[in-house]
Amino acid sequence: MLALSLSTASRAVVLAALLPCCLAAAADPLDHTPTGTIEGHPALARSPRHTTTTRGHQGDAVNVAFVGTEAELHRTLSAAGWYAADPITLQTSLEIAADVVLHKPYAHAPVSDLYLWGRKQDAAFEQPVGDSPKQRHHVRFWRSHDRDRAGRPLWLGAATYDERVELSRSAGGITHKISPNIDGERNKLVADSIRAGALDGYYWVDRFHTQAEGKNGGGDPYFTDRRLAVGVIGGIDVRR
């Protein structure tokens, strides 16, 4: 058993049938109240807390997860208004560079590779901001080998907000710089999924991180309440 915080006051629900999230509109619509202990996804017991860069340095912090199939994950993020990121190729690299200079939006702009469980992300999504790829919400996901009782994997994610682009202090190239408030991105992603009606519910893993502050692979500082948010995909038929 893991010490997890449910998203409503109900302690009687089980993971496979978590609460319908009935939330009032607010700047942060998530219920952060700790409410009890339930059985979490088995992959959480051996979950990494941070990604790594291609050079083996600590990367972005893991701060969000979803339980569901790959198809369900893609349908959920699409319903929530997030776009699948294009793979990194010469063409897409030139396109994002040109769009930054020309202030053109690129909803499917590629993201750099980060690693978890010894492999790069299995999926990445983003939500553009304004008229340039310099600012965007984005998240990378890695699929667990472990499955829950329903046979569904856990998708561990690292969600951050890109504030601007600048010269990397570590790699020497052009890179995005993230906002230090990674909890805000975590909360936004879960809230967007709730508004789309794509979740049966969500819960919190308290003290998932041992430290409340850190730096990613580019040297960008961040802070966190140390929690992991786990969304359980279900709700409406997101295949529509």
* Residue-wise pLDDT tens digits, 10-36: 322 323 333 333 222 335 778 887 746
Determine the pLDDT at residue 85.
80
Average pLDDT (168-180) is: 62
For the chain, what is the radius of gyration of the CA atoms?
Answer: 17
Determine the pLDDT at residue 27.
54
Would you call 223 exposed, middle or buried from its count of C-beta atoms within 10 A (0-12, 13-18, 19+)? middle
23-37, 119-133, 150-164, 165-179: which is most confident: 150-164
Report the candidate in 65, 35, 28 with the shortest Cα–Cα distance to residue 156.
Answer: 65
User: What secondary structure letter does DSSP report for 184?
Assistant: H
Average pLDDT (64-83) is: 96
Report the candidate in 212, 131, 133 with the shortest Cα–Cα distance to residue 174.
Answer: 133
Provide the b/e sequence for 117-146 (b: ≥16 CB within 10 Å): eeeebbbbbbbbeeebbbbbbbbbbbbbee
- Cα distance between residue 233 and residue 68, in whole Å: 6
Q: Minimum mean pLDDT among 50-54, 169-173, 176-180: which range? A: 169-173
Residue 145 or residue 6, greater confidence? 145
Q: Minimum mean pLDDT among 34-38, 83-87, 166-170, 186-190: which range? A: 166-170
Q: Phi/psi of residue 78, each to 5°?
A: -65, -45
- Whole-prediction pTM: 0.78
Determine the pLDDT at residue 29.
74
> Which amino acid appears at position 85 of this protein?
A
For the stretch 97-147, pLDDT in tens is: 444 544 445 455 666 889 999 999 999 999 888 665 567 888 999 999 999
> Which amino acid appears at position 7 of this protein?
S
Q: Whole-number mean pLDDT of the chain?
A: 78
Please check the confidence at residue 1 and state whether its pLDDT lies above 50.
no
